Amino acid sequence: MKYIFIYGFVLVFLLIWVFGWVSIYFYARAQAQLRSSFEYSCYKKLLVADPINHTYRSTGKIINKCTKAINAVEIFFDNILFDILPTFVQIIVIGIALINFDVVLGLVILLTLIVIVILTTISQFFVAPVLVDNEIRYSDKVSEVTVEAVAQIVLIRSGFATNIFVSKIKKRLKEYSSVLATIWMTYISTQTIPRLMFIISFVYLAFTLRGMYFDGMVDLPLVTGLLITYFSTFLFVVNSGRKIQNLITNYKQIQDVYVLINEYGEQTFPVLDDNQNSN
C-alpha cells in the first residue's frame, strides 16, 4: 500500500498528458480565432476613429501597444493553462501522496508548499503592476523613436539627421534595458525567502525519511521515490512567482491598449461600407 502513491502520481500525470495532447488542437484553433478577433477589433477601432485623433499621437507608441497586447492575449491563456494550473495539480498530487504515506508529514509539507505559493503570489501582486507600468512607458519611448525613424527615413537621410536619431535610439534603449534589469532584480529578491523555505522543507523531509529508514519503517526505494516526487515540484513551485508576474504583465498590456482605444476618440461620421449602408 505504501507504493500506491507512486502509481497514483504516474496515473494522474499520464491522464493530464493525454488530455493536453487531445485538447491542444481545439485549444489552438480557439486561441487563433481569439487572437485574430482581438487584433481585427483593435486596428479597426483605430482606423475608423476621426483623423484628428491621429495628429497628436505617436505612431510608434500606438503600434507598440497594439503589438504587445495582441501577443499578450495569446500568452495570457497559455500562462493559465500550461503554467499556473499544472502548478496547482503538482501541489495537490504531492500532498495526497505524502498524506497517504504519513498524515502529519504530508500536511506539514502541503502547508509549506501552499505558503510558498502564497508568498510568491502576493509579492508579485504588489510589485509587478508598478514595474510593468514602468516597462510599458519606456518601451513606448523606444518605439516612438525607432518606428518614427524608419517611417521618415527619407526625410532623415536628406536632412543629414541620421546621427541624431541613432543617438536617441541608443539613449532610449539604455533606459529600457535599465528598467528590465530592475524588474529582474526585483523578482529575484522577492523569491529569496520562498526558495529558502522550499530548501528547508526538502531537508526536513529528507531527514524525516532518513530516520524512518533506519528505524525500518520504510525501504530505500520508497524513500528515493518520495524525495524525487517532492523535488519534482521544485521548478513548479519556486517559479510560480514568475508565472504570476507573466500573467500580470500580459493583463496590464491588454488593459493598456484598451485604455488607449477608449481615449482615442469616437467615430463621428460614416467610414466603412456597412456604416454608410446603415445610414
What per-residue confidence (pLDDT) applies to 13? 67
- Of 28-37, 121-130, 153-162, which gets the smallest average pLDDT? 153-162
pLDDT for residue 84 is more than 80: yes
Q: What is the pLDDT of residue 98?
A: 77
Q: Residue 53 corresponds to which amino acid? A: N
- Residue 230: name the closest of 103, 91, 133 by CA: 91
The DSSP code for 219 is -
What is the structure's pLDDT at 14?
A: 75
DSSP string of 32-83, one letter each residue: HHHHHHHHHHHHHHHHHS-GGGGTTS-HHHHHHHHHHHHHHHHHHHHHIIII
Q: Name, in order, each residue with C-beta under 8 angstroms of 13's C-beta and a sequence gap of 6 or more.
A: 93
- Delimit the domains of the chain by residue range: 4-265
Q: Which fold would CATH assign to domain 4-265?
A: ABC transporter transmembrane region fold (1.20.1560)
Least confident of 132-141, 215-224, 267-276: 267-276
Q: Fill in the amino acid letter for 79.
A: N
Q: Which residues contact 138 (CB under 8 A, 6 or more apart)?
A: 172, 175, 176, 179
What cell was used for 164? 541624431
C-alpha cell at 73: 492575449
Place 234 in a pLDDT band, splitting at 50, 70 and 90.
confident
Do 139 and 176 contact (CB within 8 A), yes or no? yes
Cα–Cα nearest to 109, from 94, 90, 119: 94
Choice among 8-22, 95-109, 114-128, 161-175 with the minimum mean pLDDT: 8-22
Q: Which long-range contacts (CB under 8 A, 24 or more apart) does 176-181 make?
A: 176/135, 176/138, 176/139, 176/141, 176/142, 179/134, 179/135, 179/138, 180/135
